[in-house]
């Protein structure tokens, strides 16, 4: 039953992202691979804008605001699309016309295999630090009908102080749940499947095609290799549950590809539709995860530099103006990177020596993963081929790879100043920077793998020219073998095992960031049955109980570990254990409707938080009585404080 629900959620997710984006993309004149790859980007942009306008107009969040904004976008897109024709950019000239479809299909199929291997059951949640907020934000949207980047922060600021928080992931998952009727966990997992298994390989293939042409071997290799990256997409979920960052990285290759087209490093034509794709990437990436927008701006610097060099070579008299413009652009990007950063960093992030980091960059093992020999060899071969051929697109591919490598080196290296200065947009966290590396690795690796495959095909043709059946068998066996090796490499299997462990219910805080084991899940089901929706449950979010809201729609007093406590909550937690009926803690309980207290595995929290010390011995308080207990997790009913 749950797998049927997941299938329904996946179809709904594809429609939510695909239909608005495709309508606008067709209007812009996009066709073929570009249309398919740009559709999710445009869809996210439409959803992001719709969420803000709907909140401003006090319209409940649903597909109707999305449809309205998509129709307005189409009204603008269709006239724009007629300005310079509707021909597909980069038509195939020397390759099998179905190569992009085969490439994407290969990537999708292999990533689906990976996903089924790591997802034990569709209704399970990733027990990770960030995912508690993401699931609760989706529930908040479903309960309130408000999905803007400022609305969802109410979960973290009970006092009403709003701030911007990227909302695209939460708005999308809420649409999936609202439209299909599936649960929040299944909607979240459905979005994960679509983003990781469809959006990501589409972007990887289109970027590889822009940089290295439409040759069949290169394009198909890009699709296969997109499924063989350890650092992305699943490491982010196992690491911190950073679903919004995962979404933004899946979208980023299309934006980089559009930037390369606009910089004319991959040809001299700049269709208006490609320029529009880059424009839509601003709201899409900004609402998915602003750090991806910072990364895009940084990656455009080498593209702009290559474009400037080419312009100067053709028009020497314009050298001063071109170089001055390039300098101004670089200063603007640096300023943006310094300003657009969070006000805190990840103090316990991955650190290593500069030599170790350089080795990881060279071998594609960022994030401290082991080396995937096939991918590493293909990447090195791709770099060598690009440096030997020296086309503008070759320089661009190598420059993009070096740029991301430099950012990773600064974030993971021993110099604290560089870590905070350069890694700041990514919380000075090398693991988050490492997740961007596959974007620039896949095209180079595809170039190297494509060269190897072309050589192998030629050798096979020479030795089997009179035996076509043998050639077909050998080609099939070689293709399946390469796919199996890519999918079963040590870093990939290790990353997948970490993700599977994150989804398997456990109350072991050392196995997951948030322990919600089988006993806690059973207690959550009981809570859904016995606690009225109007009641509030007091909790210590450090024990994982914050997910109760997401899974049951029953309000908890503190939904996330990073939620600030207002005066009322401080008073309640400090005094509820021994409060008399006329004490401030009881007055808060009456006013806020706090009728229950939940405590998950009290001796197995990952870290202490003295703000919630008042709940440590709550079972001995005269104000409560035990309502349910499952293992060492308990639900208490508040019977004191004047409650009947």
Task: Give the C-alpha distances (Å, rounded to integers) separating 460 from 90, 378, 477, 545.
Answer: 30, 20, 13, 60
C-alpha triplet 439, 378, 109: angle, nearest 5°: 60
Is residue 17 within 8 Å of 40, Cβ to Cβ? Answer: yes
The listed range with the strongest mean pLDDT (132-136, 356-360, 420-424) is: 132-136
Within a domain: 419: yes
Whether the pLDDT of residue 226 is over 90: the answer is yes
C-alpha torsion 334→335→339→342, nearest 10: 0
Q: Are residues 546 and 493 in the same domain?
A: no
pLDDT of residue 283: 96
Within a domain: 261: yes
CA distance linking residue 199 with residue 254, whole number of Å: 10
The helix/strand/coil state of 91 is coil
- Higher per-residue confidence, 520 vs 368: 520
Within a domain: 307: yes
- Pick the last residue of a domain from 498, 530, 561: 498
Is residue 590 within 8 Å of 642, Cβ to Cβ? Answer: yes
Overall average pLDDT of the 202-220 stretch: 92
Q: Are residues 471 and 532 in the same domain?
A: no
Q: How confident is the model at residue 12 (pLDDT cuts 50, 70, 90)?
A: very high
Q: What is the mean pLDDT of the chain?
A: 89
Within a domain: 511: no
Q: Are residues 213 and 347 in the same domain?
A: yes
CA distance linking residue 17 with residue 20, whole number of Å: 7
pLDDT of residue 241: 85
DSSP 512-560: SSS---HHHHHHHHHHHHHS-TT-EEE--GGGTTTHHHHHH--EES--S
Pairing of strands 633-638, 624-630: antiparallel
Q: Are residues 183 and 306 in the same domain?
A: yes
Within a domain: 325: yes
Within a domain: 503: no
pLDDT of residue 268: 61
HSE of 441, CA atoms in CB hemisphere, 13 A: 30
Q: Are residues 457 and 409 in the same domain?
A: yes
pTM: 0.94
CA distance linking residue 128 with residue 635, whole number of Å: 23
Task: Give the C-alpha distances (Å, rounded to integers) separating 392 from 197, 261, 318, 450.
Answer: 31, 11, 20, 19
- Pick the last residue of a domain from 448, 465, 498: 498
The helix/strand/coil state of 499 is helix
Residue with tokens 């479809």: 101
Q: Are residues 375 and 416 in the same domain?
A: yes
Percent of the chain at pLDDT > 90 equals 56
Residue with tokens 């050998």: 474
Q: How confident is the model at residue 76 (pLDDT cuts 50, 70, 90)?
A: very high
Sorted by sequence, the CB contacts under 8 Å of residue 44 that are 6+ apart come out as 17, 21, 168, 172, 247, 251, 284, 287, 288
Q: Are residues 224 and 324 in the same domain?
A: yes
User: 619 exposed, middle or buried (CB, 10 Å; 0-12, 13-18, 19+)?
Assistant: middle
pLDDT of residue 180: 96
Whether the pLDDT of residue 95 is over 50: the answer is no
Q: Are residues 483 and 529 in the same domain?
A: no
Q: Are residues 472 and 366 in the same domain?
A: yes
Range of the domain at 588: 518-638
DSSP letter (8 states) at residue 625: E
Q: Are residues 112 and 149 in the same domain?
A: yes
pLDDT of residue 468: 66
The predicted-structure confidence for 391-434, as pLDDT tens digits, reads as follows 999 999 999 999 999 999 999 988 888 888 898 888 889 999 99
Q: How confident is the model at residue 89 (pLDDT cuts 50, 70, 90)?
A: very low
Domain count, the chain: 2
Overall average pLDDT of the 347-362 stretch: 86
Q: Are residues 446 and 575 in the same domain?
A: no
The helix/strand/coil state of 72 is helix
Residue with tokens 């042409």: 213
Within a domain: 256: yes
Q: Are residues 479 and 412 in the same domain?
A: yes
DSSP 23-57: HHHHHTT--HHHHHHHHHHHHHHHHHHHHHHHHHT
Within a domain: 512: no
């Amino acid at each position: 039953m749950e797998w049927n629900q997941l299938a329904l959620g996946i179809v709904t997710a594809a429609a939510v992202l695909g239909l608005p984006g495709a309508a606008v993309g067709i209007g812009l004149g996009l066709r073929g691979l570009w249309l398919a790859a740009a559709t999710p980007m445009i869809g996210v942009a439409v959803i992001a804008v719709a969420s803000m306008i709907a909140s401003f107009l006090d319209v409940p969040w649903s597909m109707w605001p999305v449809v309205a904004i998509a129709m307005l976008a189409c009204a603008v897109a269709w006239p724009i699309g007629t300005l310079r024709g509707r021909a597909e950019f980069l038509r195939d000239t020397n390759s099998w016309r179905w190569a992009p479809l085969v490439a994407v299909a290969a990537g999708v199929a292999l990533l689906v295999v990976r996903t089924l291997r790591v997802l034990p059951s569709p209704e399970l949640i990733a027990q990770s630090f960030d995912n508690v907020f993401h699931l609760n934000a989706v529930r908040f949207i479903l309960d309130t009908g408000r999905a803007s980047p400022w609305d969802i922060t109410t979960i973290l600021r009970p006092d009403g102080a709003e701030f911007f928080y990227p909302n695209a992931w939460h708005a999308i998952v809420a649409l999936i749940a609202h439209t299909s009727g599936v649960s929040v966990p299944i909607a979240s997992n459905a979005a994960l499947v679509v983003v990781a298994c469809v959006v990501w390989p589409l972007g990887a293939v289109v970027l590889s095609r822009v940089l290295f042409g439409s040759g069949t071997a290169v394009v198909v290799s890009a699709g296969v290799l997109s499924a063989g990256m350890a650092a992305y997409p699943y490491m982010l979920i196992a690491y911190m549950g950073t679903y919004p960052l995962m979404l933004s990285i899946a979208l980023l290759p299309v934006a980089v590809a559009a930037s390369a087209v606009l910089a004319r490093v991959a040809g001299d034509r700049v269709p208006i539709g490609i320029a529009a794709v880059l424009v839509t990437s601003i709201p899409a990436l900004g609402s998915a995860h602003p750090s991806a927008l910072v990364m895009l701006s940084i990656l455009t610097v080498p593209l702009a530099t290559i474009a400037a060099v080419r312009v100067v070579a053709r028009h020497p008299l314009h050298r001063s103006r071109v170089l001055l413009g390039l300098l101004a652009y670089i200063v603007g990007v640096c300023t943006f990177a310094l300003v657009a950063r969070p006000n805190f960093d990840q103090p316990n992030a991955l650190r290593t020596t500069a030599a170790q980091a350089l080795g990881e960059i060279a071998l594609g093992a960022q994030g401290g993963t082991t080396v995937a020999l096939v991918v590493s060899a293909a990447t090195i071969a791709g770099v060598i081929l690009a440096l030997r051929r020296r086309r503008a697109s070759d320089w661009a591919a190598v420059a993009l790879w070096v740029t991301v490598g430099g950012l990773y080196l600064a974030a993971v290296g021993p110099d604290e100043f560089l870590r905070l200065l350069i890694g700041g947009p990514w919380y000075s966290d090398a693991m988050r920077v490492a997740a961007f590396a596959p974007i620039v690795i896949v095209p180079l690796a595809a170039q190297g793998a494509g060269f190897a495959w072309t050589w192998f095909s030629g050798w096979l043709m020479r030795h089997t020219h009179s035996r076509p059946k043998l050639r077909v068998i050998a080609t099939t066996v070689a293709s399946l073998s390469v796919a199996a090796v890519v999918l079963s490499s040590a870093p990939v299997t290790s990353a997948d095992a970490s993700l599977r462990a994150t989804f398997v219910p456990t109350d072991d805080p050392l196995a997951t960031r948030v322990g919600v084991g089988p006993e806690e899940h059973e207690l959550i089901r009981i809570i859904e049955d016995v606690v009225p929706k109007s009641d509030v449950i007091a909790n210590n979010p450090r024990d994982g109980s914050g997910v109760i809201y997401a899974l049951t729609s029953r309000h908890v007093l503190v939904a996330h570990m990073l939620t600030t406590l207002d005066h009322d909550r401080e008073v309640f937690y400090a005094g509820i254990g021994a409060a008399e009926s006329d004490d401030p803690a009881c007055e808060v309980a009456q006013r806020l409707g706090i009728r229950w207290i939940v405590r998950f595995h009290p001796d197995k929290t990952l870290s202490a938080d003295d703000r919630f010390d008042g709940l440590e011995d709550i079972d001995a308080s005269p104000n409560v009585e035990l309502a349910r207990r499952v293992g060492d997790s308990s639900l208490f009913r508040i019977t004191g404080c004047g409650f009947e």
